[in-house]
Amino acid sequence: MNKTIGKLMMAAACLLLAPTADGQEYRNDTLRLDIDLDQRPDTVIFDKAKGIIVCKLSTQGFREIKSLKLNFDGRQSGIEKKGKGFTYTVPHMRAGYHCDFAYSKALKKIHLIGMNRYEFGPANNDGSGESSVNLLTDSYSGVWNYYDMENSRLVEMPAIRRKMVLPKTYLETFDDKIINQYISRCVKLFEKEKADRIGQRKTSFHQD
């Protein structure tokens, strides 16, 4: 098995098999951290019943800053501290993604700074791998695999690195649309790279 896929499957299994107490599927996640960097604790809440992320910043009088409504797996999705901000995680059985947020002192807003995703693909792992996009630098990087039908083996393609510009997104404008845009572009990059590699192989075969 491809090493990258093995690591991803182990990580996803740990998340999906983690014990969840009965009746706790929609327990809110709450973080206490200094996200606005004023040396006073702020609060970030993932309200699973309402399907929104809520931030209360000390620099803004702890008023509620809310995301738009989100679709998620109620049992395993959540928020965690990451760097000076937090990450929103949605794991599924064979795919999942993370969205990273941080505070902009210049804009005085919490903004989406990056996303990453993984896929296991179908049983033969075609289309499996992982990618990330840095929204501060508009940089995309993905490592993907395709299944070689002729030789019955999984092939890891060279890393795909491209410029990817997505709409500026802040917590109050954040919903699944930006995630779906990222996934859609990511899939297109994979499909093009796969088609190019298969085409090159066929051309080389005929020339030989």
pLDDT at 10: 52
Chain mean pLDDT for the chain: 88
Instruction: Flag whether 30 is in a domain.
Output: no
User: Into how many domains does the chain fold?
Assistant: 1
Instruction: Flag whether 201 is in a domain.
Output: yes
Instruction: Flag whether 39 is in a domain.
Output: no
pLDDT at 19: 39
pLDDT digits (tens, 9 = 90+) for 19-72: 333 334 567 899 999 999 999 999 999 999 999 999 999 999 999 999 999 998
DSSP reduced 3-state for 31: strand
Which of 37, 186, 54 shows the shortest CA–CA distance to 115?
186
pLDDT at 88: 98
Mean pLDDT, range 128-149, rounded to an integer: 97
Instruction: Flag whether 114 is in a domain.
Output: yes
- Burial classification of residue 108, based on how many CB atoms lie within 10 Å of its CB (0-12 exposed, 13-18 middle, 19 or more buried): exposed
Is residue 139's pLDDT more than 50?
yes
- Exposure of 160 in the CB half-sphere (CA atoms within 13 A): 26
CB neighbours of 75 closer than 8 A, spacing ≥ 6? 20, 25
Instruction: Flag whether 35 is in a domain.
Output: no
Is residue 146's pLDDT more than 90?
yes
Is the distance from CB of 53 to CB of 67 less than 8 angstroms?
yes
Is the distance from CB of 139 to CB of 160 less than 8 angstroms?
no
Instruction: Flag whether 171 is in a domain.
Output: yes
Instruction: Flag whether 51 is in a domain.
Output: no
Instruction: Flag whether 42 is in a domain.
Output: no
What is the full DSSP assignment across 41-52?
Answer: -EEEEEETTTTE
Structural domain of residue 189, as residue ranges? 3-17+76-207
Query: What's the token pair of residue 136?
Result: 């501060």
